[in-house]
Structure 1
Amino acid sequence: MNKIDIRTVDVVRYVQPLREGGSLPAIVKADDDFLYVIKFRGAGQGKKALISELLGGEIARSIGLNVPEIVFMNLDDSFSKTEPDEEIQDLLKFSVGLNLGLHFLTGSITYDPLVSETDALTASKVVLLDSIISNIDRTAKNTNLLHWNKELWVIDNGASFYFHHDWSSWENHLTRTFPLIKDHVLLQKATKLEEAAIVIRESLSLEKITEIVSNIPEDWLTNETDHMSSIKIKNAYILFLKSRLSKIDLLIKEVIDAR
């Protein structure tokens, strides 16, 4: 099994904001000379969106989907001092520390359900991925998929694992499926669900899930409003994913019924 090795880089230049959604991600240059899309800890959903992005992205990669490299990004306080836009200035100020970045795919285009092509197995993997991680944001209005080098790439998993916004009731989600899959942009193309499920079962062992979750930085797990320890929170993510995988046949039936 390949060990997940997530690099840490330093932001050296703020290039431009990406004014999509409410979180104001941006293109930045890092000290390795590559461009990244940075997701800020100081944005609306805070560090929990970064956790969702990290877990969702590395789970997608583990089951053979294309995901831009994910890195941890150190942001210092110098950028907010030179930014003229007050909204962005505040965002940068509140995001000093460890953020998350995805390698910027230069020349990629947004997936268009009316025009773009993808094969049935890939579509099935993406649909089951989003059922497993409870991703509410891969719809025709906002596909969060890219076409790059004639392949489909999965991005923006920040709306996943929404149970973690209220730890007092998270265990209720262990018995649920994911009815919102009915709105998924790839629903009609996902016709190889059984085949996709075999790949997912083989790829996502408990050991692999634990390894992915272990990469969450401790700093992202501390929150004034959460009363669970970081160990308990990590265990909750592992238990949640374990419960989803145990119900994969139910998730498949839910997709078929929705289609």
Structure 2
Amino acid sequence: MPQLRTVNITRYVTPLREGGSLPAIVEADDGFLYVLKFRGAGQGVKALIAELIGGELARALGLKMPEIVFATLDDSFSKTEPDEEIQDLLQASVGLNLGVHYLSGSITYDPIVKKIEPTIASKIVLLDYILTNVDRTPRNTNMLMWHKELWLIDHGASLYFHHSWENWEEQSKRAFTAIKDHVLLQQATEISNIADEFCATLTHKRINDVVNLIPDEWLSDYSVADSPEERRQVYAQFIETRVKMIDFVINDIENARKSTI
């Protein structure tokens, strides 16, 4: 069963002014630098949950994913921050946040410069379809090259069903039309060949092991009456449903790839 370490933030280094969530590079009490995703940012804890689930499922599939940690932020940081926008963000994020190990010296993946091995590209495209990840496009690849290897980052825009819980079962069975914009779609030529391995990896147990990592406090901010455990099970059932419709998923991806050639 996967386990996540918990670190304490000791230094706010610099904001990363990319997108609307204002992640930041921070240092923790283990001496490492992390890209911190704040619970007080635009999408709140839902983005952290999507980041956690997407990152750990990617790791289970053998894809390169920086270590994810729980990161505790205390209220002292906001008191010394001169920027009012960042100050508000820090105040709203006191408590448990999510950190992703900072890959120093990495560069943004450029599909024009570097082609990805088809099996890896296929795993990424298939996973992003399952997770309904809308944010892996040529404009914003959310992948890095580090030591000549491809690393995935930022799954926060995945699992967008959780922004409207009411019809999650219906959403779990829908096609993911945004796959046509995926930056690796044309390189994902091994979808059919990796499907069995993909499903054998993302088992009921594996999926539940990952969703069980979600802290209770990240599941208590919603207006719905479900308990944290019931909401974890919604995440698990959503993902399992989509894995089980793998034949439909493969066909849909292949059609999207052919239509965009």
TM-score category (smaller protein): over 0.9
Amino acid at match of 2:3: D
Equivalence for 1:170: 168
Corresponding residue number in structure 2 for 1:49? 47
Deviation at 1:224, TM superposition (A): 4.3
1:17 alignment counterpart: 15
Using the alignment, how far apart are the partners of 1:200 and 1:40 within structure 2? Answer: 31
Residue equivalent to 2:190: 192
Which of residues 74, 77, 93 in structure 2 aligns to 1:76?
74
Partner of 1:141: 139
1:110 pairs, out of 108, 111, 114, with 108
What is residue 29 of structure 1 aligned with on the other side? 27
User: Hey, which bits of structure 1, 4+ residues long, moved more than 4 A?
Assistant: none
Q: Match for 1:49: what amino acid?
A: A
Matched position secondary structure for 2:62: coil
Q: What residue ranges of structure 1 are gaps of 5+ in the alignment?
A: none
Residue 198 of structure 1 deviates from its aligned partner by 2.2
The aligned counterpart of 1:92 is 90
Q: CA deviation at 1:84?
A: 0.4
Paired with 2:179 and 2:201, the residues of 1 have a C-alpha distance of 22
1:206 aligned to which of 200, 204, 209: 204
Partner SS state of residue 185, structure 1: coil
Give yes or no for contact 2:115–2:187 (8 Å, CA) kept in 1: no
Partner Cα distance (1:224, 1:135) in 2: 22
Tell me which residue corresponds to 2:219.
221
Tell me whether 1:182 sits opposite 2:192 in the alignment.
no
Distance 1:60 1:193 in 2: 16
Q: Of 219, 233, 236, which aligns to 2:234?
A: 236
Letter in 2 for 1:82: T
Aligned residues: 257
Secondary structure at the residue paired with 2:205?
helix
CA distance in 1, matches of 2:64, 2:103: 12
Structure 2: how far apart are the matches of 1:204 and 1:91? 35
Match of 1:120 among 118, 121, 128: 118
1:160 aligns to what SS in structure 2? coil
CA deviations over 1:163-211 (Å, ceiling 9, x no partner): 0011112121122121110010000000011222222112111011110
**2:193 aligned counterpart, secondary structure:** helix
Deviates further, 172-181 or 129-138: 172-181
> Paired residue for 2:251, among 250, 253, 258?
253
The runs of 5 or more residues in structure 2 that have no matched partner are: none
SS at match of 1:33: coil
CA distance in 2, matches of 1:177, 1:224: 26
Tell me how far 1:73 sits from its aligned partner: 0.1
Q: C-alpha separation between the residues in 2 aligned to 1:165 and 1:17?
A: 26
Whole-angstrom distance in 1 between the partners of 2:224 and 2:25: 31
Partner Cα distance (1:13, 1:183) in 2: 38
8 Å Cα contact 2:208-2:236 kept in structure 1: yes
Q: TM-score, normalised by structure 1?
A: 0.97
- The DSSP-based 3-state class of the residue aligned with 1:137 is coil
Partner of 1:7: 5
Q: Which moved more, 1:78-87 or 1:108-117?
A: 108-117
TM-score w.r.t. length of structure 2: 0.97
Percent identical pairs in the alignment equals 58
Distance 1:203 1:69 in 2: 19
